Amino acid sequence: MSKYEFDFESGVKQIKLIMDGKDAEYAPVTTQMAEYCMKYGGHNGKRFFSDPELFVRGNLEVQSELGFDVPDMVWDVYSVEAEALGGNMAWFDDLYPALDNTASIIGNEKDLARIKAPDPFKTARMPWVLEALQICKEMTGYTHYIHYCAPINLCAQVMQFEHMVLQIDENPKFVHKVLDFLVEEVLAPYINAYFKVLPDATIANGKDAVGSLPFITEGILEEFSVPYIDKLRKLCGDRPGIRCDNWWGDAFSSDLDKYWDTKLHVTPQYLKVQDPDCFQIGTQRIREYVDKTGCASSYGIGTLLLQNGTREDITRRVHEYMEMGTGGPYGKRFFLYLCSFSAQTPPENVKAAIEAVKRFRAGDRPYSGEILSGPDGVAAEAAGGKGFMGIYLGGDKEGKVDEGPQRDAVFQDIYDAVMEFDDGGCPGLVQAALDQGEDASEILDQGLIPPMGEVGDLFATGELFVPEMLMAARAMKAGLEVLRPILTATNSKPKGVVVLATVFGDLHDIGKNLVGMMLEGAGFKVVDLGVNTKSEEIIKTAREVDADVIGLSALLTTTMPFMRKIIQEIKEAGIDVPVIVGGAPVSRTFADEISADDYGDNAPEAVSICKMLMSNESLRAGTGA
């Protein structure tokens, strides 16, 4: 019998064996489920994520009751360091708290010069994290590792993602300076404080979702991400446990083995591949690499399946991943990762996942030998019209090149400037076209709008990544600024007016911003209400600007229900405007369930839908319908 209040001794032993490069007795299961535990236990969100004892006990009680192998303490990892640097937090009763990054913390050299390095023992919730981890050890005997926001992800938090990406292109030295400050003055002292209060600790685990493909390119990864994880490791005593294990976007890499080599460099203990990449690439392909390199491994089952899948779907995924992961010469160095259980995950699905693990361990394996994953597989969670990662549909890798009409040289030069991300040259080319007597509307329609369509197509096939879309949009906007006064003076009408908003409770805006840029590039007027937006503001704005389309975005499964509420209130307000929805957890099936007019799986698709809706509106107006 354990001498501790909560007994996770067996599961912790297996994880330690794997981390030490040894064979485990069975494949343990790890998870991320703090938000689920908060709701399951009936706790208020702000109190749960600010009271260290409540946070630890609330997690351990639920995890122990449900039979998880290893304690999970994953707080709002992407917020803590940025909050300590002065960032504002948004707190919710039933969600993770989140950084309100609508304003940058470090935008220029002056900001960097004035900002004060936090004290891990005094500033914001850094002490809360250290206390929670000490309480966890007292209750379980387990030295839980600290989670930290990885350098490039923290940089994106304090600079704002779009600004950081554009500064990497315009002023890379400044971004390097910011990263140096964050590693030397924020992250290293924070992690070393953890090692001080828990002297037997060996691991600090970085979280780096935004530092993953295709949010950044492989070039950015090599220059602005990996070197700073290396630097952080050195500043923390060259401990190999200073790692960053949750990159995703494996399926976007140009050389998969090289990408996985890099992942092993930043996390030497094991290779983790999570859904949707794990399913898209296939467990067989991952297993081949593991067998070749002799590394430990972890397959991650994604949130969408765990939240929306049937018991059978969940069991099939768990059994395939465990069968393939535990096979081969290094199968005893495998653990399963359930990522993640949110406040919206049905309790029966959590129990189904744990029951599936228990059945596999007991030899009850009805799907033995079944492999559904791989490039030709169709994931159960994608059956409702969900594209891979909500970013692209995985189309023809040859790309959809521009096949429009031949342009006059003056328009082609502008087109090429956008495609080459030349924001410095594009305004001059637009002005030259005006000086030659070209009509402003023609310059817009033939020079500036078409390249953004091609950029969208290349993004949709995975040939361009988010940074390249941002740089193309910057070039297009630079040219548009030359035309804007003329278009305004001549009362040139936009293609349509679209109101965009991230719904209440959600502070993520990268996807929404991409849609906005693409719409502007297609000639639409965009009214962006930002993040954490209530239905009242959306309705008021739609009336004021006479909106043609309303676009709603959500990145969190916990905020998806607000889409339904907003659509209901729009209809009750008598506003006859089509509403389209999108975001990583959203699917076409969900869009139909909440009576949305359409669903955009990615930015290019959202633009196409808006064009279609405007075309339909024009047809109705023409027929008097």
Residue from 160, 128, 170, 163 nearest 146 by CA: 128
**Residue 615, domain extent:** 494-625
438 and 525 share a domain? no
Same domain as 561, residue 550: yes
**What is the distance between the alpha carbons of residues 253 and 287, in angstroms, rounded to a whole number?**
17
Q: How many helices (H) and strands (E) does the chain have?
A: 29, 14
Q: Which residue, chain included where needed, has tokens 């499964």?
A: 557
- Tens-place pLDDT, residues 314-340: 999 999 999 999 999 999 999 999 988
**In Å, what is the CA distance from 403 to each residue of 362, 476, 523, 539, 602?**
58, 19, 19, 39, 22
Nearest to 186 by CA among 144, 133, 159, 150: 150
In a domain, 594, yes or no: yes
437: domain CATH number? 1.10.1240.10
Please say which residue of 492, 518, 533 terminates a domain: 492
**Domains contained in the chain, number:** 2
- pLDDT band of residue 358 (cuts 50, 70, 90) is very high
Note the pLDDT of residue 389: 42
Residues 539 and 568 in one domain: yes
pTM: 0.91
* Model confidence band, residue 602 (pLDDT cutoffs 50, 70, 90): confident
Q: What is the pLDDT of residue 390?
A: 43
Retrieve residue 575's tokens. Answer: 């506003």
* Tokens 């949709």 -> residue: 460
The 10s digit of each residue's pLDDT in 5-28 is: 999 999 999 999 999 999 999 999
Q: How far is CA 466 from CA 69, 164, 207, 313, 538, in A?
A: 38, 12, 19, 32, 27
Q: What is the pLDDT of residues 511-549, one digit of tens each?
A: 899 899 889 988 999 999 999 899 999 999 999 999 999
* Residue 588 and residue 462 in one domain: no
What is the average per-residue pLDDT within 151-175?
96
* Helix ranges restricted to H, 149-187: 151-159, 161-170, 172-181
Q: Are both 540 and 486 inside the same structural domain?
A: no
**Residue closest to 49 by CA, chosen among 98, 97, 86:** 97
**What pLDDT, on a 0 to 100 scale, did the predictor assign at position 405?**
59
In whole angstroms, what separates CA 370 from the centre of its chain? Answer: 30
Same domain, 479 and 408: yes
CATH number of the domain within which 544 lies: 3.40.50.280
pLDDT score, position 621: 56
Query: Among 158, 180, 254, which Cα is nearest to 224's?
Result: 180
Mean pLDDT of the chain: 92
Q: Let me know whether 512 and 610 are in one domain.
A: yes
